[in-house]
Structure 1
Amino acid sequence: MRLFEFQAKEIFRKYNIPTSTFNYLIKTPEEVNTILDKLPLPCVLKAQVLSGRRGKAGGIKIVKTKEEIPRLVEQLFNLVIGGERTHAILVEDYIDIERELYVSIAIDTTTNNITILASPLGGIEVEELVLKYPEKLFKIDVDPFIGIKPYQARSLAKKLGLSGRLINVFARILDSMYRILIDYDAELVEINPLAVTKTGELIAIDAKIVLNEPAKYRHQEAFKRLEEEQEAIGITKNPTEAKLKELGSTAYIEFEKEGIALVSDGAGIGMYAYDLINELGGTVAIYCELGLANTAERVYQALKIISSNQKTKAILINWFGGANIMDEMCKGLIQFRRENTNIPIVVRIAGTNSDKAHEMLKGTNIFVTEDINEAVNKIISLGG
């Protein structure tokens, strides 16, 4: 279950992770007129969607005058990002940023460890970091029986270019993120960006939390509250989505037309592929993010569910290994292919153990490439 930014930040504040001092959720366009005088200036309007690449899609607006707020609020409510309409708008005070960092903590199901990823280059998708700036992405494996050691947090802070008191502030934020991951049975806790402000503070500008659906029974009250919050702003689950959520899927969107089922392991690469398919004349029928905690069995079961939808005429898999291990995921794909020989499948695989994955997929009648443009063109030619 992926949380909206406003939900994730509410949890952040409970764990003393610094966020903006002002926050207000606008649930309808009409509501803005009743709270105009309460909003700080300048402020930021942020579309609340579960899809990725929100900023690039125009889902974040900086506001300097009160007069422009109603127009921008209406504009955001009419915005559709990755096939998903804006459900609400989070208003926050504007923060003067010196530079942006990236930090996340996630479960690595292949090693049963907890993985910390961090970079001094925040504000861009982690998939892009892995591809373009691997030397700027730092990884730490954490033993869940021991937790984060203080020296690990301090060392990581220094690699991110922090100094003085901010080293200890960062260490406390990292510890809080770790406790959220454990306390909520989360699969991912991410801050991107974590801002170093011009006044010398660290503040979480954005927040992402993905909860483990199979662990729902241990957190029934929390899940109930979070689901009610999402339902209040228009989120509903269809039966297919519910099944995929149980497997750990973090996003599922079903469109009206038949065409390509797009399956990714992250929001950034998923939405990039979605945009590219539309630009090149293809049709996306289903959009699904499998999330980070993927095993062969999860992949196999997810593909079975997706392929059973009559709208699915071809499958494009776009995987970019960071926390996910590509060869492990391919075991599930190969099992699915053995049982489903007719449906066209194109796979774009890059990242962790991608060379092994490419070798494994030889002779499976699956088109494999590392180039997303080639993958999209191929799947369109095969019926998408």
Structure 2
Amino acid sequence: MARLLEHDAKAILAARGIPVPRGQAVSSPEEARRAAVALGRPVVVKALVPVGKRGKSGAVRLAADPEAAGEAAAALLGREVGGFPVERVLVEEAVPVAGERYLAIVLDADGRTVRVLAGREGGIEVEELARREGGIASLELAPCEGLMPFHARQLWRSAGVRGPALPRLGQLTAALHRTFIELEAELLEINPLAETAAGELVATGAVVALDEAALFRQPELAERVVSGPAWRPPTALERQVAAINAAEPYRGSARYLELEGGDIAFLCGGGGASLLLFDALLRAGGRPANYAEIGGNPTEMKVAALARVVLSKPGVRGLFVAHNLTNNTQVDVLARGVVQALCEAGRLPPDFPVVARETGVNEAEGRAIFEAAGVRWLGEEVTLSEAARIMVQAMRERYGESDGDPARP
């Protein structure tokens, strides 16, 4: 899931007419103090990390004056919250709250629907709301179906909300749904959605999570994504692969997850088959250094770029390239990209063990390219599990018995 930091999420909402508190992202206590002076009222200082339950971990602090804001920022900056280092904090005005609601729009990938969730109480975890009888009302929409304000008002009535706030809630919910569709999001959440004594609605807490596969259509947002599938800060190598995809979004897709330790660079494809190959490496006693997947008819340039990243991780001493069956990924293109990266890195067999188990489009041409570079070629007559065993055996023959526990994702 591609998640944005809160100040970016709120900027998106504000640009689409959804009220948010005035605030500023800062990276030092002095900047926090100046931001509080500019706001001219008590502020909330929040650690800018893409995790929930920040309040429970002490990562959200109320500051009555600028000096307190600076002190709160000093206490938060440099900390680690949910595995993420706090490099910036959000200093925003404290909104006088008369009541709090919960509002979210989420993509239900299994049901292929969009679900709108409304809760008459906010400021608490959605799991807690769901446990309360009538705590959350839900409306299911088709992915391309619109949401009119009067439909949204009916949803809020189902959640037990009455009174003069209903028209505003209907308008805001419809605006949030339009934003969800425009961004091709997986989740938009406002928690809490504050209601002031004057009846105004303000998104004091906001989460925006985008569809990674659609980021190439949102280039201005792709640069702001701070977390991916591992739900931890992306490593330098993972950021490189994200940049590779962003630079050439229309041909193929590359994924890379760096693992702790490991000495076998792993470049695969095929979804379920790639997971089977990964498990087979572990069962054979191998230590994968990463999980990298490429598919969707990539260019030679994209294959080579991913292979360079895979080979660049410190400690890598061999390469396993494998697919169960390529259909839209051409084996010769794959081979040229991989061999190019191997030559550039100066890592060629027999000094650097490389095994390729491939079958599919342009297989004969791909085999010739791999074998000309000294790569051990395996075809469809070799099972995936046997190919993994052969890779591990090649490592042992070159370096001796491997020791240590296999790396696990």
Q: TM-score range, shorter-chain basis?
A: 0.5 to 0.7
Runs of at least 5 residues in structure 1 that lack an aligned partner in the other structure: 229-234, 247-251, 259-296, 313-338, 341-382
Distance 2:257 2:74 in 1: 23
Letter in 2 for 1:158: R
Matched, 1:59 2:83: no
Matched, 1:177 2:154: no
Matched, 1:4 2:5: yes
Offset at residue 220 of structure 1 (A): 2.3
Offset at residue 129 of structure 1 (A): 2.8
Distance 1:109 1:303, change over 3 A: farther
Is the 1:101–1:160 Cα contact (8 Å) retained in structure 2? no
Q: Write the deviation string for residues 194-247 of structure 1: whole angstroms up to 9, x where unpaired.
A: 1122222211111101011111222223424x259xxxxxx754445787999x
Distance 1:154 1:64 in 2: 36
Letter in 2 for 1:208: V
Distance 1:222 1:184 in 2: 9
Distance 1:145 1:154 in 2: 20
Offset at residue 163 of structure 1 (A): 3.4
Distance 1:242 1:126, change over 3 A: farther
Offset at residue 33 of structure 1 (A): 5.0
Query: If the length of structure 2 is used for normalisation, what is the TM-score?
Result: 0.56
Is the 2:259–2:288 Cα contact (8 Å) retained in structure 1? no
Higher relative contact order (CA 8 A, sep 6+): 1
Offset at residue 257 of structure 1 (A): 9.5
Offset at residue 189 of structure 1 (A): 0.6
* Corresponding residue of 1:38: 38
- DSSP 3-state at the match of 2:71: helix
Distance 1:176 1:149, change over 3 A: closer
* Corresponding residue of 1:206: 205
Letter in 1 for 2:12: I
Q: Write the deviation string for residues 33-56 of structure 1: whole angstroms up to 9, x where unpaired.
A: 554532322111111111221010
Distance 1:214 1:100 in 2: 34
Q: CA RMSD in A?
A: 3.7
Offset at residue 135 of structure 1 (A): 3.3
Distance 1:106 1:244, change over 3 A: farther
Q: Write the deviation string for residues 153-190 of structure 1: whole angstroms up to 9, x where unpaired.
A: 11122234433442121111111111111111111111
Runs of at least 5 residues in structure 2 that lack an aligned partner in the other structure: 227-232, 246-255, 263-269, 292-383, 386-407
Letter in 1 for 2:82: G
* Corresponding residue of 2:214: 215
* Corresponding residue of 1:168: 167
Q: What does residue range 1-384 of structure 1 map to in structure 2 within 5 Å?
A: 1-20=2-21, 22-35=22-35, 37-130=37-130, 132-133=131-132, 135-224=134-223, 226-227=224-225, 237-239=235-237
Distance 1:199 1:14 in 2: 23
Distance 2:237 2:119 in 1: 38
Distance 1:227 1:52, change over 3 A: closer
Is the 2:106–2:115 Cα contact (8 Å) retained in structure 1? yes
Distance 1:219 1:153 in 2: 27
Greater shift, 183-192 or 69-78, is seen at 69-78
Distance 1:135 1:64, change over 3 A: same
Distance 2:273 2:117 in 1: 27
Distance 1:253 1:98, change over 3 A: farther
Distance 1:305 1:28 in 2: 43
Distance 1:188 1:59, change over 3 A: same
Offset at residue 5 of structure 1 (A): 0.6
Q: Write the deviation string for residues 318-356 of structure 1: whole angstroms up to 9, x where unpaired.
A: xxxxxxxxxxxxxxxxxxxxx99xxxxxxxxxxxxxxxx
Letter in 2 for 1:101: R
* Corresponding residue of 1:326: none
- DSSP 3-state at the match of 2:91: strand
Distance 1:241 1:24, change over 3 A: closer
- DSSP 3-state at the match of 1:179: helix
Distance 1:227 1:143, change over 3 A: closer
Distance 1:40 1:302, change over 3 A: farther
Distance 1:38 1:243 in 2: 40
- DSSP 3-state at the match of 1:122: coil
Q: Write the deviation string for residues 96-115 of structure 1: whole angstroms up to 9, x where unpaired.
A: 21222111111111222111
Distance 1:184 1:305 in 2: 34
Distance 1:257 1:175, change over 3 A: same
Distance 1:85 1:254 in 2: 18
Distance 1:109 1:96 in 2: 37
Distance 1:37 1:43 in 2: 10
Q: Write the deviation string for residues 138-167 of structure 1: whole angstroms up to 9, x where unpaired.
A: 111012333224442111222344334421
Is the 1:113–1:144 Cα contact (8 Å) retained in structure 2? yes
Letter in 2 for 1:114: V
Letter in 2 for 1:82: G
Letter in 1 for 2:151: Q
Is the 1:59–1:79 Cα contact (8 Å) retained in structure 2? no
Letter in 1 for 2:15: K
Is the 2:14–2:20 Cα contact (8 Å) retained in structure 1? yes
Letter in 1 for 2:203: A
Distance 1:302 1:138 in 2: 38
Question: Who wins on radius of gyration, i.e. which is larger?
Answer: 2
Distance 1:143 1:178, change over 3 A: same
